[in-house]
Each structure stands twice: as C-alpha cells, then as structure tokens.
Amino acid sequence: MPDTLLNREALLAQPDDAYMGDAQRAFFHDLLMREREALCQRIDSELGALREVEPVSDEIDLASREEQRLWQLRLLEREKRLLDKIDDALERLACGEYGWCEESGEPIGLRRLLLRPTATLCLEAKQRQEQRERHQRHA
C-alpha cells in the first residue's frame, strides 16, 4: 500500500475535522477500487461457469443443473447490483459527496463506511428507512 494511504487504525485515529479530507478520500477510493476489481473477477468467473455446458444423462441431472444455473443467475444479479453501488460510491467520491448522508447531510461515519463502503445513509437515517419498510410490509 502506498505511503499516502492510511490503514484502518490510522483512519479511525484521525481527528473529527479530518473527515473526508484528502487522505480519507484516497483510502476509500482504494478500498472501493479493490472491492470492484474482486467483484468483477467473481462475476467473470460466474459467467464462465454459466457458459459451460455439460451433457446430462437424465432428467434429474438436467433439473439439478437448471436449479444451479438459476442460483448462479440470482448471484450474478446481486453482484451486478453491488457493482452498480460501488460505481455510484466512486462517483459520489469524485463529486465530493461520499461519506455524507443523502437524507440528513450529516457524516455517515468512518466505522459504518468501513463495514459498508457503499452506504449512502447515516445509521439513524438507515434505521428510520428500515422502520418505514417494516411498517409498510405489515400495513
């Protein structure tokens, strides 16, 4: 890792006024790019597995293979959504909006961003969103 990038401990040890300064933006850019690269490799691997066609000997094998293909397609769809979120996070980073809650404008927080680098809401806003979703499901 280049000297200009912080490690996680150094990132968390920074004062509050360093929030989303150059060093922190560089740290999260590197983190997001590494996650993006790993995700692209997984997607390529899954696509390759989907392209493989094996001869089947009976209907049970065919059904099993189709079930596996459906699972792989769901996984690919999920990973594609994550790739889109990573790209959105990189765009927010480039625009200077990364790390700030879309709802309140407050800092999302380093610990939350380390756990979920694609987060767009601070913890409180995310909890409110989840409560609204639960309420709507039960209504």
Q: CATH number, domain at 118? A: 1.20.120.910
Rg of the chain on CA atoms, in Å: 20
Neighbours of 28 (CB within 10 A): 23
Quick one: tokens of 28?
């999260």
Total domains in the chain come to: 1
Provide the domain limits for residue 12.
8-138
The DSSP H or E segment spanning 75 is helix 59-95
CA–CA gap between residue 122 and residue 119 (Å, rounded): 8
Residue 82 lies in a domain: yes
Nearest CA-CA partner of 33 in 12, 5, 57: 5
What does the pLDDT read at residue 2?
A: 45
Residue 66 lies in a domain: yes
In degrees, rounded to 5, the angle at the alpha carbon of residue 33 between the alpha carbons of residues 71 and 113 is: 85
pLDDT tens-digit series, residues 84-139: 999 999 999 999 999 999 999 999 999 999 999 999 999 999 999 999 999 888 87
Phi/psi at 107 (nearest 5 deg)? -60, 140
Q: Give 100's DSSP letter.
A: B
Residue 2 lies in a domain: no
Residue 1 lies in a domain: no
Residue 130 lies in a domain: yes
Residue 3 lies in a domain: no
Residue 115 lies in a domain: yes
Q: At 48, is the pLDDT very low, low, confident or very high (cuts 50, 70, 90)?
A: confident
Percent of all residues in the chain with a pLDDT value above 90, rounded to a whole number: 68
